[in-house]
Structure 1
Amino acid sequence: MEQTSQQHQQRFPKKHRLLRAKDFRKVYDCGLRIATPYFRAVCYDRGEGDGPRIGLAVSRKLGKAVIRNRIKRRLREAVRLELWRLAPNWDLVLQPNRSALEAPFSALREELAKVFERCNERSLG
């Protein structure tokens, strides 16, 4: 029974995804930019909300659709596992580099956790 409740908390439902162009634009225009070895993140504190929202922006420069989709799947899974670390008032857009494809999954999770912590520190300060 505990396994089921733990799995339920680690989902990545639609309400935690950034989907609309105007939401992406707001994050890009007003957000805090953070660079990591595997991706760039833009964080925007929307003040209140019922959970953090994450968007992925993968450029065609990274490769064909198969490559871009693989990068998105890896990042989406890392977000799903680390989302609990991010305060509920944040919108975040991740822009992966090509190095995200070759990076060990544990390294992606570590960098994502660091980004989430930086965002949370910003909202406290």
Structure 2
Amino acid sequence: MEREYRLAKREDFNKVYRAGKSVANHQFVLYYYKRSGQENFRLGISASKKIGNAVVRNRMRRMIKEIVRLNNNKIVGGYDYIVIVRKPAVTLSYQELEKSVKHVFRKASLNKTASMI
């Protein structure tokens, strides 16, 4: 994922957690916070030790980044997003993960087109 799409600093994460809104499904929690003056979005992914060892956590991060990268033209810009991975997501296939990520963005009304996510 390119640098301009990354949410990396602790203070940015804290700002999204404190001031942002959230939606959830069984596999993911999505926090989002509107930034002013920005046209692209930034994404952070949080996967705690509860979901598995480092191999499992990093695999989940990579898969979510790829799903967002392939759908980045369909996600509303100007926001900071944090995706928190829940334990049930570990057992899903890539297609099921993609469907679940799209669902959580749709639930938050953060898609550009109705048919997208």
Matches within 5 A, 1:11-22: 12-22=1-11
1:29 positional shift: 0.4
Return the structure number with greater helix share. Answer: 1
Q: What is residue 120 of structure 1 aligned with on the other side?
A: 110
Instruction: State the number of aligned residues.
Output: 110
Aligned mate of 2:68, from 79, 89, 92: 79
Q: How far apart, in 2, do the equivalents of 1:91 and 1:105 lie?
A: 24
Q: Percent identity?
A: 29
SS in 2 for 1:93: strand
Aligned mate of 1:42, from 15, 31, 37: 31
Aligned amino acid, residue 36 of structure 1 = N
Aligned mate of 1:102, from 71, 91, 106: 91
Q: What is residue 8 of structure 1 aligned with on the other side?
A: none
Q: How far apart, in 2, do the equivalents of 1:36 and 1:82 lie?
A: 19
Question: What is the root-mean-square deviation of aligned Cα atoms in Å?
Answer: 1.6
TM-score when normalising by structure 2? 0.84
Q: Which runs of 5+ in 1 are unaligned?
A: 1-11
Q: Which runs of 5+ in 2 are unaligned?
A: 112-117
Aligned amino acid, residue 49 of structure 1 = Q
Q: How far apart, in 1, do the equivalents of 2:33 and 2:15 lie?
A: 8
1:15-74 deviation line (CA, Å, top 9, x unaligned): 101011111011000111111121111011113313110001111121211111111111
TM-score when normalising by structure 1? 0.79
SS in 1 for 2:43: strand
Moved over 4 A (4+): none
